[in-house]
Amino acid sequence: MAKQAPANALKTAPKKQGGFAKWLPLYVLMIPGLAYLVINNYLPMFGLTFAFKKINYNVGVFNSPWCGLDNFGFLFKTKDAFIIFRNTICYNLVFILLGNVLAIVIAIMLEQIRTKALKVYQTCILIPYLLSITVVSYLAFAFLSTDNGFINNSILAPLGVEPISWYSTPKYWPFILVFINLWKGFGYSSILYFATLIGVDGSYYEAAVIDGASTWQQIKYVTLPCLKTTIITLVIMAIGRMFYSDFGLFYQVPMNNGMLFDVTNTIDTYVYRGLLQLNDVGRSSAAGFLQSLLGFTLVMITNVITRKVDPDSALF
Amino acid sequence: MAKKITAVLLALCLIVTVFAACGGNEGGSSSQAGGSSSEASSSGGESSGAESSEANENTGDVPTISLMVTCGTTPADTADVEAALSEITREKIGCNVELITIEIGNASQQMNLLLAGGDDTLDVFYAGIGTSFVNVASQGQAMELDSLMEPYAEEMKKALGENVYESGRINGKLYGIGRLLDQASVPCFTIRGDIAQEFGYKNGDKINLEKLTKLFQDVHDKYPDTPIIGPNNGSPNIGDSRVDSLGDGNKLGVLGNMGQDETVINYYESEYYTELVSYFKQWKEMGVYMPDLLNSTEAPVDFIPTGKCFGCFAGHFSAEMNGIWSTSNFGVDCASLQIYDDTVAVTPGAYGCINPATKNPEMAAGLLHLLSTNADVENLLINGIEGQHYQVLDDGSATYLEGQDITSVGWCLGYSWANQNSTLSIPFDYPADYFDQLLAANAAAKQSKAFGCQFDLTGVSDAVSACTNVVNQYANPLAAGSVEDFDATLKKFQEDLKAAGIDEIIAARQEQLDAFLGK
């Protein structure tokens, strides 16, 4: 409660002192960030109108004629529509679920390590996150290539198993892509959780130990509840990106191989492949617009549900 | 409470980073655009600086026209070539020329940005390199040229050929000047020279699919460990010169019978394609494909000399010339065997256009005229400056200076195809009569009925993007022999194309072709 007092003071103080002037330095500090936000995130929103226009550069993009929802049609044109939405959503669900579980486990493990090796581990798990996806795709190729690949030559061959033609067998790819995504992302997200964990007051654990809690019980009753807000925040943020996919992961890593489209085609890659040659600004904006709209809706719904269940954890 | 505040802060922080990340792409690309335009303006500044001193000597201000130059990587000596070119253009049309280099790998994105802004950063450009001519014209990014080009029309028709000049018409209006290049490409198979010789073939020989399969079998029997078909540009790249693909690499609607038919057909259901697929199947069963061909990152220049794979498919107006080119580029003797007997001449793939935002349309038109007719201008743009970038040999062909090669030379050699009229230039590392042969091959090829017909598919663009995705999915895996069941895959391919609306595209093309033929 002692901590709450200053917070209350902050809330009431400005009224008494007519405090805009008092907070002026803080507002000034805010200007660069605000300017960045407006220029980078709000001004481009004009572009959303492109989604409803038939662009003609001769009269300028703003004077181009409106065309209603025509630009959205191509996304639903074929039976691919089902596949690309299914792939995008299902992969994201798996990524969110497994990604967070793995990150939390790693964060807890890191937290338990009290040696100097911690820095080394932290660096090691972050390296995959820092690799360019193109590099990752060639790493994958080094493992999976049919004639020179590590798996076929050094693992399957000694075991007497026939080499597998990875790049022409779709059934393996959901696992390969999930594995690569987890491997690439777990370092970064576990650091986020780890940052929350080191902020947890050590006296909770001391109290738990005195009460005779085992390590497992400490994790269950102290660590996880402390992480709850962070988990919910990160998950809601991830849900907002539900209709986007990591273009590099789904395009570069399978090397744009037609044989694998059934399991690797997502909204982003479909739009890219379909519109690359057409240079059609209107329809690519339409796809982006739809993705953001659906993502936004999902975030709002999730937040409403969260607020119902646990008001403290809701984002807004 | 503190926890809650941290949580909110963390959330805010995340929101900002997430938005920053997704905004990042746009920011990146726009800054790229800014980068290139600022680059353009700064080099413009340089040239205007250089100009001003000369302007004092001459009279008044000399305007600058910018011209697109396609390159692999931005060359070092752009300013030198620019200066040399401006010397000619100041005299002929009274302007300086600024060269805007477009790296071929980024051409799509870069052109999109350069043309979308409505800026006049690019006065004269080639539509069809990284863009589509019809789209550029229908989106209002190319100026109508009829009246502008009128003073030059006769001379340019003579230089380029009337059919090429007229091919830039859409709905009767001239939007671009057709590029003069090889109009007919023959698919050929390039194989290591010693292997070809061993089995009784030499460079430039004709062969058909049946004999080619026999050759594959013979080579494979003798050298069972070496695959024969490798990738070229990431895929098998087997062309089919028996049809006119109507300017669409994905062959969504073609003219059969060497482009002599007047009915647009579905290539993927035609005998041409089913026959090819039956050969793909045979080749796969014989085991002559390079494993994982579609995923291989190696180019013929890597695998042919090292003996990792014997050959690959290629396309050229002459198989013999392709063999000569391969021999000089791969560093090992190569033979190219021509697969189909006849060739069909099709509509040019790129057009010299003028940006409607240009401040000096007359001068831009003058520049297009020079590009089409002036050998000095074209040679400068294609081969660079004599003594600095190339030397002329006794036989009249050009080659690198002593000690220079493609990596060290200061100009973007090898992009003659990206110019208006490369036949005016000195052949580089080809026989001196190379361009005569090219023109002869154009003349000898059967001219497609659809030559000069520009198809506008914006009305069926949903079907085009859907079908493009379908072709991407099936065509290369079939051609690369990386499917298990060819018949089932082909059937599925055809069904998916139907579902994606290929019939709409064919109908649209048919309608436009009928209008073009005056039916």
pLDDT, one tens digit per residue, over A116-132 is: 888 888 889 999 999 99
Residues of chain B with C-beta less than 8 angstroms from the C-beta of A199: 6
State both tokens at B404: 């220079």
Closest of B411, B359, B362, B357 to residue B383, by C-alpha: B411
- Does residue B1 belong to the interface with chain A, where contact is any CB pair within 8 Å? yes
Q: Sorting pLDDT into bands at 50, 70 and 90, what band is B8? A: low
Can you give the C-alpha Rg of chain A in angstroms?
25
- Does residue B489 belong to the interface with chain A, where contact is any CB pair within 8 Å? no
pLDDT at B57: 40
Res B151 pLDDT > 50: yes
pLDDT at B81: 94
Shortest Cα–Cα distance, A220 to chain B (Å): 19
pLDDT tens, residue by residue, A273-288: 877 656 677 888 888 8
CA distances to A88, A242, A272, A290 from A266, rounded to whole Å, are 5, 11, 10, 14
pLDDT at B220: 94
Among A196, A230, A280, the residue with its CB nearest the CB of B461 is A280
> Which domains, and CATH codes, for chain A?
79-313 (1.10.3720.10)
**Residue A134 · residue A254 · CB < 8 Å:** no
- Does residue A163 belong to the interface with chain B, where contact is any CB pair within 8 Å? no
CA–CA dist A264, B107 (Å, integer): 26
- Does residue B21 belong to the interface with chain A, where contact is any CB pair within 8 Å? no
pLDDT at B371: 94
**Residue B255 · residue B264 · CB < 8 Å:** yes
Which residue type, as a one-letter code, is found at position B263?
T
What is the phi-psi region of residue B25: left when phi exceeds 0, alpha when psi lies from -120 to 50, beta otherwise?
Answer: alpha
Closest of B143, B434, B22 to residue A288, by C-alpha: B22
CA–CA dist A209, A221 (Å, integer): 12
Cβ distance B473 to A276 less than 8 Å, yes or no, reads no
CA–CA dist A181, A245 (Å, integer): 11
Averaged confidence pLDDT in chain A = 85
DSSP string, B477-514: HHHTT--S-HHHHHHHHHHHHHHHTHHHHHHHHHHHHH
Handedness of CA A72, A76, A77, A83 (dihedral sign): positive
pLDDT tens, residue by residue, B453-498: 999 888 888 888 889 889 988 999 999 988 889 999 999 999 999 9
**Residue B465 · residue B502 · CB < 8 Å:** no
Residue A18, C-beta contacts closer than 8 angstroms, at least 6 positions apart: none
Q: Taking a contact as any Cβ pair under 8 Å apart, which residues of chain A between 46 and 105 contact chain B?
A: 55-61, 73-74, 77-80
Cβ distance B139 to A55 less than 8 Å, yes or no, reads yes
pLDDT tens, residue by residue, A177-236: 999 999 999 999 999 899 999 888 889 989 999 999 898 899 899 999 999 988 988 898
Cβ distance B469 to A273 less than 8 Å, yes or no, reads yes
CA–CA dist A168, A172 (Å, integer): 10
DSSP string, B316-339: ES-HHHHHHHHHHHHSS-EEEEE-
Cβ distance A229 to B3 less than 8 Å, yes or no, reads yes
Q: What is the 3-state secondary structure (H, E, C) of B191-231?
A: EEHHHHHHCCCCCCCECCHHHHHHHHHHHHHHCCCCCCEEC
SS3 (DSSP) at A228: helix
Q: Sorting pLDDT into bands at 50, 70 and 90, what band is B135? A: confident
Residue B138, C-beta contacts closer than 8 angstroms, at least 6 positions apart: B170, B456, B458
Q: Which residue has the higher pLDDT, B37 or B274?
A: B274
Quote the ipTM score: 0.70
Within B409-485, where are the H helices? 434-444, 461-479
Q: Which residue has the higher pLDDT, A165 or B180?
A: B180
Task: Name the residue of chain A whose CA is nearest to B4's CA.
Answer: A312
pLDDT tens, residue by residue, A19-76: 788 889 899 999 999 999 999 988 888 888 888 888 777 677 778 888 888 888 878 8
Among A3, A74, A265, the residue with its CB nearest the CB of B466 is A74
Cβ distance B140 to A58 less than 8 Å, yes or no, reads yes
Task: Name the residue of chain A whose CA is nearest to B292's CA.
Answer: A146
CA–CA dist B88, B85 (Å, integer): 5
Write b or e for each residue in B435-452: b if 16 or more Cβ atoms lie within 10 A of its Cβ, otherwise e. bebbbebbeebbbbbbbb
- Does residue B245 belong to the interface with chain A, where contact is any CB pair within 8 Å? no
Handedness of CA A42, A46, A49, A55 (dihedral sign): negative
Res A289 pLDDT > 50: yes
Handedness of CA B438, B441, B445, B447 (dihedral sign): positive
pLDDT at B356: 86
Q: Taking a contact as any Cβ pair under 8 Å apart, which residues of chain B between 401 and 430 contact chain A?
A: none
Cβ distance B2 to A230 less than 8 Å, yes or no, reads no
CA–CA dist A99, A107 (Å, integer): 12
CA–CA dist B347, B246 (Å, integer): 7
Res B420 pLDDT > 50: yes
**Residue A92 · residue A241 · CB < 8 Å:** yes
Q: Sorting pLDDT into bands at 50, 70 and 90, what band is B144? A: very high
Cβ distance B116 to A57 less than 8 Å, yes or no, reads yes
Shortest Cα–Cα distance, A147 to chain B (Å): 7
A267-275 and B461-479 are packed helices; what angle lies between their axes, rounded to 10 degrees?
100
Which residue type, as a one-letter code, is found at position B506?
I
Shortest Cα–Cα distance, B452 to chain A (Å): 20
Shortest Cα–Cα distance, A72 to chain B (Å): 9
- Does residue B519 belong to the interface with chain A, where contact is any CB pair within 8 Å? no
Task: Name the residue of chain B whose CA is nearest to A74's CA.
Answer: B462
Cβ distance A147 to B462 less than 8 Å, yes or no, reads no
- Does residue A20 belong to the interface with chain B, where contact is any CB pair within 8 Å? no
CA–CA dist A227, A224 (Å, integer): 5
CA–CA dist B103, B129 (Å, integer): 11
Q: Which residue has the higher pLDDT, A167 or A128?
A: A128
Across the range B44-53, mean pLDDT stands at 38
Residue B314, C-beta contacts closer than 8 angstroms, at least 6 positions apart: B187, B188, B189, B190, B232, B237, B300, B322, B326, B336
Cβ distance A278 to B465 less than 8 Å, yes or no, reads yes
pLDDT at B411: 92
**Residue B410 · residue B76 · CB < 8 Å:** yes
Give the strand pairing for B64-71 and B96-103.
parallel
Q: Sorting pLDDT into bands at 50, 70 and 90, what band is B51? A: very low
Among B16, B141, B295, the residue with its CB nearest the CB of A167 is B295
Give the strand pairing for B344-345 and B446-447.
parallel
pLDDT tens, residue by residue, B214-259: 999 999 999 999 999 999 888 888 888 889 989 888 899 999 888 8
Residue A69, C-beta contacts closer than 8 angstroms, at least 6 positions apart: A52
pLDDT at B10: 55
Cβ distance B474 to A258 less than 8 Å, yes or no, reads yes
Shortest Cα–Cα distance, B393 to chain A (Å): 41
* E strand residue ranges, B131-170: 169-170
Across the range B8-28, mean pLDDT stands at 47
Residues of chain A with C-beta less than 8 angstroms from the C-beta of B14: 233-234, 237
Residues of chain A with C-beta less than 8 angstroms from the C-beta of B356: 58
Q: Within 10 A of A192 (CB to CB), how many other CB atoms are there? A: 18
Across the range A133-141, mean pLDDT stands at 92
Q: Taking a contact as any Cβ pair under 8 Å apart, which residues of chain B between 370 and 389 contact chain A?
A: none
Rounded (to 5) percent helix, strand, coil in chain A: 75, 0, 20
- Does residue B483 belong to the interface with chain A, where contact is any CB pair within 8 Å? yes
Cβ distance B23 to A283 less than 8 Å, yes or no, reads no
Measure the CA angle with vertex A16, ends A15 and A19; round to 5°.
60
pLDDT at B278: 95
pLDDT at A17: 56
pLDDT tens, residue by residue, A242-280: 999 989 999 989 888 888 888 999 999 888 887 765 667
Q: Taking a contact as any Cβ pair under 8 Å apart, which residues of chain A between 167 and 206 contact chain B?
A: 167-168, 196, 199
For residue B204, the Cα-to-chain-centroid distance in whole angstroms is 23
Cβ distance A74 to B291 less than 8 Å, yes or no, reads no
Closest of B342, B109, B100, B339 to residue B210, by C-alpha: B339
Shortest Cα–Cα distance, B466 to chain A (Å): 6
pLDDT at B86: 94
Shortest Cα–Cα distance, B80 to chain A (Å): 33
Measure the CA angle with vertex B39, ends B37 and B45; round to 5°.
105
Closest of A66, A96, A31 to residue A302, by C-alpha: A96
- Does residue A309 belong to the interface with chain B, where contact is any CB pair within 8 Å? no
Cβ distance B469 to A274 less than 8 Å, yes or no, reads yes
How is residue A208 annotated by DSSP?
Answer: H
CA–CA dist B360, B385 (Å, integer): 27
Ramachandran angles phi, psi of B446, nearest 5°:
-70, 130
Task: Name the residue of chain A whose CA is nearest to B128's CA.
Answer: A277
Cβ distance B482 to A168 less than 8 Å, yes or no, reads yes
Shortest Cα–Cα distance, A214 to chain B (Å): 25
- Does residue A32 belong to the interface with chain B, where contact is any CB pair within 8 Å? no
pLDDT at A278: 63
Cβ distance B139 to A57 less than 8 Å, yes or no, reads yes
DSSP string, B80-114: HHHHHHHHHHHHHTS-EEEEEEEEGGGHHHHHHHH
Cβ distance B141 to A229 less than 8 Å, yes or no, reads no
- Which residues lie across from B255 on neighbouring strands? B244, B264
pLDDT tens, residue by residue, B288-347: 998 888 877 788 988 999 889 999 999 889 999 999 989 988 889 999 999 988 888 999
Rounded (to 5) percent helix, strand, coil in chain B: 50, 15, 35
pLDDT at B140: 83
Residues of chain A with C-beta less than 8 angstroms from the C-beta of B482: 165, 167-168, 259
CA distances to B243, B283, B447 from A157, rounded to whole Å, are 45, 26, 55
Closest of B304, B308, B300 to residue B332, by C-alpha: B304
Averaged confidence pLDDT in chain B = 85
Cβ distance A79 to B499 less than 8 Å, yes or no, reads yes
Cβ distance A279 to B112 less than 8 Å, yes or no, reads yes
Among A147, A230, A273, the residue with its CB nearest the CB of B472 is A273
